[in-house]
Structure 1
Amino acid sequence: VLNQDGVPINIAEGLMKERIEEVARGVNRLNHQRTVDTAKILGFNLICLHTACDNLAAKFLKEKIDKENPERIEDLMSLLKEIPEYKEALKSGAGPKIFVGSEENRCGKISVAEITGGTEPSPKIYEKIAQAGVGTIVGMHMGEESRKEAETSNLNIIIAGHMSSDSLGVNLFLDEL
């Protein structure tokens, strides 16, 4: 996904490899099997569609953003707030938020690379994303170290919300059934 935004593949893979290894060290393998084991014991069929639904949400957002081509962050925020899942999330204070930048900022090239992928990338990637010509990233969530690196790289960061983005993806999946 980062390569589609102009980050050279060797840099994207190198920095993502580091982050993937970091996440893998922090995840206990037994946790991955609990749900599967429980389904087996109960005799339930089981399928995980989390990443597939994240991909649907990312595709939907990319297409909508490309079609509307918002010029400023305020335009992008308005676009996101029109989407029912984000509109609902706003009612509980969990809707789209500007993490870095301001409403008056120009968007530039907009990336939705952080809507899917399982986790946020290495904080080191933000400089490379900015060098590739991206001006704004729309994501699900972002840690403080990544936020600071994005700010240093003069990127705008819009956090659409994790649960609301998950809901968007699941609803898009269900729409196809």
Structure 2
Amino acid sequence: MKLKEIYELAVKMGMESDPRGKEQVLKALEKEKKRYEKLSEKEKEEYDLENLTNPYSDTRVYLGDLEQEIHTALVGIDMEVGEVLLADRLTEKGTKIDLIITHHPEGSGIAKLYEVMHLQEDILHQLGVPINVAEGIMAPRIGEVKRGLMPLNHNRAIDAAKLLGFAFMSVHTPADNLVTTYLTNYFNEKKPETVGEVVDFLKELPEYKEATKIGAGPTIVVGAPERRCGKIFVDMTGGTSGSDEMFAKLSTTDVGTIVTMHISEKHKKEAEKHNINVVVAGHMASDSLGMNLWLDKLEENGIKVIATSGLIRVKR
């Protein structure tokens, strides 16, 4: 596969598994195109044209010729300078690495991570929160995340990869969409009745089974095993954690249990206050599941995948 085909496949699969539905995603792209047309010439010079065809600002090719044929990819959840050096060392030892793929974004992908958080507004609306309320509670949180990303050394790993001649890309929200949709369908099929059963069913999946062995598996952080789970909301996409105000809003809907990758203490306290059960499925395991669903397709197309940096590689 060519580098551009790998990238396009990630975007395509992300759109097809987007919780908003593909029609809504296409509407968002059309809206973005109209916004671009209204920009001044100076603003257009600064505009990332990928936004016109890719709705996920955290998924980008940072380095490499898009026409380059890729045979072997080194893939991990966090690919920093150490992992770039690992790619170079593997190449020196005879395993030539053509492409480094990180799940968590670098460069512009991390700098503009906040842009994908608007996805959460539509998800909350689907769950029964009025869209004006969803947008209202997300706006300050998106601003908070944007400001928090400003001081980062965004290009550190990319600069290292550039010096060593590696192609480098990230696949974030598409993979998170994949795991979100996969687990939503999984729970709809399994129909757990209690929070404990939610955890048990998660542990039947190999990524979570492996994570459990090292103490990083699914855990109930709010609620108890015997409590009825009610409607399950798989909250695993949209950039990063949303507004802590969502728990109050969700308590008026059918949502009884949230299954998430991780949760802050502030968010946990809000969940407790509003009697919403929370299962932390595990960060690396959940990210791995989402990436694996995409990586399987790469391997079907002849790409050799070498897993590292927290990626629990499981083939389906």
TM over 0.5: yes
Name the count of aligned residue pairs.
176
Deviations 1:78-123 (A, max 9, x none): 11010100000000110000010001111111101x2112221121
| SS in structure 1 of the partner of residue 153 of structure 2 | helix
Letter in 2 for 1:71: E
Residues 17 and 92 (structure 1), Cα distance of their counterparts in 2 relative to 1, 3 Å cut: same
Letter in 1 for 2:248: E
Hey, what's the Cα distance between the residues in 2 that align with 1:3 and 1:168? 26
Hey, what's the Cα distance between the residues in 1 that align with 2:151 and 2:171? 19
Alignment match of 1:53 (pick from 175, 188, 191): 175
Structure 1 or 2: larger helix share?
1
Hey, what's the Cα distance between the residues in 1 that align with 2:164 and 2:180? 34
1:124 is the counterpart of 2:245: yes
Hey, what's the Cα distance between the residues in 2 that align with 1:5 and 1:35? 38
Which one has a bigger Cα radius of gyration? 2
Hey, what's the Cα distance between the residues in 1 that align with 2:127 and 2:266? 22
Alignment of 1:56-135 (within 5 A): 56-112=178-234, 114-135=235-256
Letter in 2 for 1:109: K
Alignment match of 2:259 (pick from 129, 138, 152): 138
Aligned-residue offset at 1:30: 5.1
Hey, what's the Cα distance between the residues in 1 that align with 2:287 and 2:263? 15
Residues 108 and 116 (structure 1), Cα distance of their counterparts in 2 relative to 1, 3 Å cut: same
Using the TM superposition, name which of 28-37 and 59-68 deviates more. 28-37
Hey, what's the Cα distance between the residues in 2 that align with 1:63 and 1:5? 16
Unaligned runs of 5+ in 2: 1-122, 299-316
Once the two structures are aligned, what percentage of the paired residues are identical?
53
Letter in 1 for 2:249: K
| SS in structure 2 of the partner of residue 38 of structure 1 | helix
| SS in structure 2 of the partner of residue 157 of structure 1 | strand
Letter in 2 for 1:150: A
Higher RCO, Cα 8 Å, sep 6+? 1
Normalising by structure 1, what TM-score?
0.93
| SS in structure 2 of the partner of residue 121 of structure 1 | coil
Hey, what's the Cα distance between the residues in 2 that align with 1:28 and 1:139? 26
Using the TM superposition, name which of 76-85 and 44-53 deviates more. 44-53
Aligned-residue offset at 1:29: 5.7
| SS in structure 2 of the partner of residue 24 of structure 1 | helix
Hey, what's the Cα distance between the residues in 1 that align with 2:139 and 2:163? 35
| Aligned residue in 2 for 1:10 | 132
Using the TM superposition, name which of 22-31 and 164-173 deviates more. 22-31
Letter in 2 for 1:129: L
Normalising by structure 2, what TM-score?
0.53
Hey, what's the Cα distance between the residues in 1 that align with 2:132 and 2:166? 42
Unaligned runs of 5+ in 1: none
| SS in structure 1 of the partner of residue 155 of structure 2 | helix
